[in-house]
Chains A and B, each alone.
Chain A
């Protein structure tokens, strides 16, 4: 009965591994939630951080994170759509396509700090913008683009061939087929991908250290002039995001309650990521149902 015994042993070892992973996840999340929960209140979420005294909040950081996220998506989604459509519909097998595929692979495997260094060189020094929201968003676009292209390509290639062929057979041109037949069918997959990559961008920090900087100027929330220095909407001002803030208060702890701030900020970050994940799943499922089943 030796071999049956080893089989059982192996099964229990693998089960143990699975349990360990689930336990680690549960441990991490409950640790963050338990530590951060007492920090969360409206004041913490909206007030600006203080540099030396206790009791600072994360208001501007939270705003910056969302602002950079929106800008990044504004750049990434069209570019990613175009690139994905190219890879799925126009790319012919050959050297050029192989080369683009390699490029996507390279972009995807670049460490985010290297993307940050590139951003420092091009969007900070070369353009003369200094540390800016726009530079940060562009660096994150570089970081996010390969993911986006892959998501779009995968979603498009999983659209049934017959659907496309039927459209072409009716004499509708390739581009119109892509626009009116393929993209709507691929939409649920693309949407899920966009939301998931938004979560990734939201938590990214290393690429932003050198592009959007680690400071936020004093903001005047009533100032909606995007060219004014104190306006939150100004894309040429430096901006510290939530993830960068967590890193900063932990490593350059000038405030006495750095630990509490980091606890709260980490919880906000985790909640945001969980939300992005959940929304992506639910919305993906909903849109899928809406588009595929009978009304």
Chain B
């Protein structure tokens, strides 16, 4: 606002203000419309591209989802190429669930420590630590996994080093801060009166945490874990660097395997756009999209059950 224009001017110049009001509204509404359009466009484009393999190339969706064999270059004499995505689907779920099994107790534990136990200096160290962990780029996690965790596993546990275990460790460190920060918010939103009433009844701090605070916050704590899992499921490069990328299902923690994201990462650039092999990769992308919608539905369901907000 130019300094020459007084408040009175602004109030009296109706025509100008109405015009500005309209322009402003238009700009803001356009931004909102762009958000909607982008979301719809992503969904539409990826669905259309993802079903190409089934519609245009005749890949059987059932075989795609259930077959264990992924061999796009198999010769015609041997029965032609097969596109079974099950190993990658299993790989994605396995690594996600394993990472959550590590990160959930640690993350929630850290959140409880931060909200219920820590002296103020403890919080002052842990809070920035968690925020910094969120900020570390995923390729750096992958790089650390590749140069530190993989050799460590190879020398001390056995196997090649590349595999499910390495993927699990890298991903659990990656999603730990996500889980911690959301769980911290959840615990902070529990009204203080509940803590005080419980302590006033003679309960110890641990009893209060276990019987009062955690049950009250359960839906929100689960939300934290689910959001962490969503992150793990979609993570591409860090996992790709450590998981070994074999096309088979891992039989033990030390076996290499692959996930949906790693196969897309590795092959999208090397296949010819429009070929069946390329189209099938888009179908893998479609699975990722569907899964992220599913995670949202789960989060919605959980947050509808939360009791405090």
Contacts and interface: CB of A to CB of B under 8 A. Distances in A.
Interface stretch (B59-67, B78-86, B281-289): B281-289
Given A28-B144, A118-B46, A142-B38, A111 B292 contact: yes
B11 interface: yes
Contact of B173 (A24, A29, A178, A276): A24
B117 A171 contact: no
A242 B219 CA distance: 39
Nearest to A22: B129
A189 B209 CA distance: 33
A250 B136 contact: no
13 contacts: A7-B207, A21-B129, A83-B35, A86-B29, A107-B39, A109-B227, A109-B295, A114-B234, A175-B23, A203-B140, A247-B142, A247-B240, A250-B146
A170 interface: yes
Most buried by B among A9, A106, A214: A106
The 4 closest A-B pairs by CB, nearest first: A111-B234, A203-B137, A82-B31, A175-B24
B7 A175 contact: no
Interface in A256-274: 259, 262, 266, 269-270, 273-274
Most buried by A among B35, B113, B210, B299: B35
A18 B118 contact: yes
Interface in A232-261: 243-244, 246-247, 250-251, 259
B231 to A, nearest CB: 8
Interface in A195-216: 196, 199-200, 202-206, 209-210, 214
Interface in A72-113: 78-83, 85-87, 89-91, 99-100, 102-107, 109-113
A179 B210 CA distance: 48
Interface in B10-64: 10-11, 17-18, 20-21, 23-25, 27-32, 34-36, 38-43, 45-46, 49
Interface string A1-42: 001101101110111011011101100110110010000000
A31 B38 contact: no
A51 interface: no
Interface in B125-153: 125-126, 129-133, 135-140, 142-144, 146-148
A140 interface: no
A106 B39 contact: yes
A25 B129 contact: yes
Contact of B28 (A85, A122, A196, A262): A85
A82 B27 contact: yes
Given A105-B296, A176-B17, A21 B176 contact: yes
Given A17-B109, A103-B36, A110-B292, A180 B1 contact: yes
A175 B21 contact: yes
Contacts of B106: 17, 20-21
Contacts of A170: 7, 11
Contact of B269 (A102, A118, A214): A214
A145 interface: yes
Interface in A122-176: 122, 125, 142, 145-146, 149, 170-176
